[in-house]
């Protein structure tokens, strides 16, 4: 589904991502791991149009999406979450989810002004869809509560559901369980598995090795901006280079 070919990004003299290539299969959970400073978040920013590539190419379903801006990538079926929460505190949980439907909503101001039947029908449809998404993860009881009054664990799941509301084919999750306890981490893991069952392909950037090993189909390991190894969780767990990279950075990889 996604082909990444020889992508490179430099910041001054620092090569953050160095001639990196990998493929992501449709309907899979593909994790990207590595010690801090390995270039993982830079890579996500490159794939989602935040950073321009210095060289290399990215293909989605055979089409070249290299350096396409983030807002246009959403219409190509790609979305992401961030390490730091990007939730609107003063909106309710449901209103946050409805933001994700923005690309589908009618932009005809005249119709909106006169509250045409189509607008009202759309609102009802999106309301129902939003409630359905919340029910998938047991958050429907929080639908009308303001986000600022809810726990960090709930907001992390909310952010994923809001991304899902854009109707993505590919979702990039940047450390979705950072700061969560064991129970919350398990809930996010189950949500990610649900996404794949719903024909969404997942790229997961994560430090929680237990979670990565439990749910990944394929793991790409980065170190100093380069691909160190790639394979199944079993292959990665037994890879001497990977073990050395992590042990050599003990205390830095979370």
Classified as helix, coil or strand, 181 is coil
Residue 126 lies in a domain: no
pLDDT in tens, 88-138: 888 889 888 888 776 555 555 555 555 566 656 667 777 888 888 888 778
Q: Is the pLDDT of residue 231 over 90?
A: yes
- Kindly tell me if the per-residue pLDDT of 32 is higher than 90: yes
Asked if residue 176 belongs to a domain, the reply is yes
149 is a domain residue: no
Does residue 202 lie within any of the structural domains? yes
Of the candidates 61, 62, 79, the one whose C-alpha atom is nearest the C-alpha of residue 70 is 79
The 10 Å CB-count burial string (b at 16+, else e) for 20-32 is bebebeebbbbbb
Residue 73's domain is classified under what CATH number? Answer: 3.40.50.300
How many structural domains is the chain composed of? 1
Give pLDDT tens digits for 42-90. 999 999 999 999 999 999 999 999 999 988 898 888 988 877 677 888 8
Is there a domain that residue 28 lies in? yes
pLDDT of residue 104: 52
**How far apart, in whole angstroms, are the C-alpha atoms of residue 162 and residue 183?**
21
Domain that holds residue 232: 2-77+168-244
Please report whether residue 196 resides in a domain: yes
What value does the mean pLDDT take over residues 13-32? 96
* 11 belongs to a structural domain: yes
Q: Is residue 51 situated within a structural domain?
A: yes
Q: Enter the tokens of residue 40.
A: 């993982």
């Amino acid at each position: 589904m996604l082909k990444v070919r020889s992508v490179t990004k430099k910041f001054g003299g620092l090569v953050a991502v160095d001639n990196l290539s990998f493929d992501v299969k449709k309907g899979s959970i593909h994790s990207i791991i590595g010690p801090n400073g390995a270039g993982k978040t830079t890579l996500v920013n490159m794939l989602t149009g935040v950073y321009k590539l210095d060289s290399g190419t990215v293909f989605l379903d055979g089409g070249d999406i290299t350096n396409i801006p983030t807002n246009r990538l959403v219409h190509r079926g790609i979305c992401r979450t961030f390490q730091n929460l990007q939730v609107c505190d003063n909106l309710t949980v449901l209103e946050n989810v409805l933001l994700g439907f923005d690309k589908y909503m009618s932009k005809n101001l005249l119709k909106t002004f006169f509250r045409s039947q189509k607008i009202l029908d759309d609102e009802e449809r999106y309301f129902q869809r939003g409630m359905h998404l919340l029910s998938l993860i047991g958050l429907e009881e929080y639908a009308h509560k303001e986000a600022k009054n809810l726990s960090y664990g709930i907001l992390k799941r909310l952010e994923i559901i809001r991304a899902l509301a854009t109707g993505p084919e590919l979702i990039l999750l940047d450390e979705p369980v950072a700061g969560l306890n064991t129970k919350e981490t398990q809930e996010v893991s189950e949500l990610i598995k649900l996404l794949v069952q719903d024909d969404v392909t997942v790229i997961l950037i994560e430090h929680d090795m237990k979670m990565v090993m439990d749910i990944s189909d394929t793991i790409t390991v980065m170190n100093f901006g380069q691909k160190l190894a790639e394979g199944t969780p079993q292959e990665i767990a037994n890879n001497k280079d990977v073990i050395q990279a992590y042990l050599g950075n003990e205390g830095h990889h979370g």
